[in-house]
Amino acid sequence: MRSGLRIAGLLLAGGRSRRFGTEKAVAPLGEGVMMDVPLAALRGVCTEVVVSVRLGSAAHGYAQTMGLVCLQDAPGGAEGPLAGIKQGLLWAAAQGFAWLAVAPCDAASLSASQYRKLALAAAEGAKGAVGAGEGGLEPLISLWPVTEGLVAVNAALAAGGHPAIREVLSAIGAAQVRLTGYDGLNVNTPADLPDLQTSL
């Protein structure tokens, strides 16, 4: 089922992966790397996908080999995924998109069908959508209205600290959407990889 929305996609691959030890976005997984699966999920519903990366990182180089637009956080700004989402929203607004779908680089059981459910909620009138998996809300698996999202993100960042993304989505009024088939498994340390490999 198609939602009829024209959606941009943002893959968040700019984290420092301190617990993982190396860049988990490009850690080997199956026949590719970790970020391939969520990237494919976004491509299944999005007109264009960009990647939030750190300049000069391995994820940056990998995304460039695929011809993807790479975004970096604003110099001197707040760190964390919300800063990456802000740059994605700014890019989407400049390109004329009304919606931005967001995915984390380490969600290796994501599929396009889950993003279609988020898009359907928005097409039916929801002011954005956030996924709910087996372990609860998954704020990084979300669909943002670009204009309202920028207002909410700017307000949250202006307040200082590290605002919770779920709180920003709540301020927008995003609907919670059950992510059928998503197990909530992501990768924080290399020890998580064997379980993930067997689930693929």
pLDDT at 86: 96
pLDDT at 194: 47
pLDDT at 2: 47
All residue ranges of the chain with pLDDT < 50 are 1-2, 21, 194, 196-200
Establish if 163 belongs to a structural domain: yes
CATH number (domain holding residue 97): 3.90.550.10
Write out the residue range of the structural domain in which residue 108 sits.
Answer: 7-199
Establish if 1 belongs to a structural domain: no
Burial of 180 (0-12, 13-18, 19+ CB in 10 A): exposed
pTM to 2 decimals?
0.88
Establish if 162 belongs to a structural domain: yes
Q: What are phi and psi of 21, to 5 degrees?
A: 100, -35
Establish if 113 belongs to a structural domain: yes
| 76-124 tens-digit pLDDT | 777 789 999 999 999 999 999 999 999 999 888 889 999 999 999 999 9
Establish if 92 belongs to a structural domain: yes
